[in-house]
Chain A
């Protein structure tokens, strides 16, 4: 009964390949996020969806494309992978409170992507 689950946990691939990471939450939250954590542990927001609508799109290359088929799922597809894409990608969700950005985030366990 994991709250936020993402797959795969580990992903090793060659440069130039295309890969996807899937995320599902069973908390009934209306907002989901993708964060990227680099080797120095800095955590940067990439995307946010609210009820399947994209509401945050940070300066992320076009090779990254999120997709939210429903409010419980947010997938991340990455085209033409580059060495610099190696990182841990975290999915998170929360229930927005009055649209003011309050409420705690619930994180998945992360997907470690290694590009060779």
Chain B
């Protein structure tokens, strides 16, 4: 099974609304990363949060990390049609060496 699992699998919102997606993982991590994938393209790194951090911001993105619950959330505020994409979380484990393990992604559709 995947180390990181995103929830929901799909999300449809109106432009201007906020989009929130969650990621749960199973084993200890030293960092968690979020990536974005536009249709037919490669993944692009959005933000990295370390295991000793609880919250991080980057532009309209806000990421939280709760290591006690082994979960993270990604919030996109004031969404735009251009935010339509799949969003993936990836975890780097303490014992995982240099392996990043991805979840199945959340497909976000922002309607204009």
A interface residues with partner B (beta carbon < 8 Å): 4, 31, 35, 40-45, 48, 50, 55-56, 90, 92, 94, 96, 99-102, 104-110
Contact A101 B41 (CB under 8 A): no
Contact B92 A56 (CB under 8 A): no
B interface residues with partner A (beta carbon < 8 Å): 2, 30-31, 33, 35, 37, 40-45, 48, 50, 86, 88, 90, 92-94, 96-102, 104-105, 107
Cα of A5 to Cα of B30 in the assembled complex, Å: 29
The listed residue (B31, B42, B44, B107) touching A101 by CB distance below 8 A is: B31
Cα of A29 to Cα of B47 in the assembled complex, Å: 19
Contact A42 B104 (CB under 8 A): yes
Cα of A106 to Cα of B35 in the assembled complex, Å: 10
Contact A42 B92 (CB under 8 A): no
Contact A41 B105 (CB under 8 A): yes
Cα of A106 to Cα of B107 in the assembled complex, Å: 20
How many residue pairs link A and B with beta carbons under 8 A? The number is 74
- Shortest Cβ distance from residue A50 to the other chain B in the assembled complex, whole angstroms: 7
Contact B30 A102 (CB under 8 A): yes
Cα of A73 to Cα of B42 in the assembled complex, Å: 18
Contact A42 B2 (CB under 8 A): yes
Return chain B residues, CB-CB under 8 Å to A56.
Answer: 97-99
18 contacts between A and B (CB under 8 A): A4-B42, A41-B86, A41-B105, A44-B102, A45-B99, A45-B100, A48-B99, A50-B98, A56-B98, A92-B42, A99-B97, A100-B92, A101-B30, A101-B98, A102-B30, A104-B45, A105-B35, A105-B45
**Given the contacts A101-B92, A102-B30, A108 and B97 also touching, CB distance less than 8 Å:** no
The listed residue (A4, A43, A55, A109) touching B97 by CB distance below 8 A is: A55
- Shortest Cβ distance from residue A101 to the other chain B in the assembled complex, whole angstroms: 4
Contact B43 A101 (CB under 8 A): no
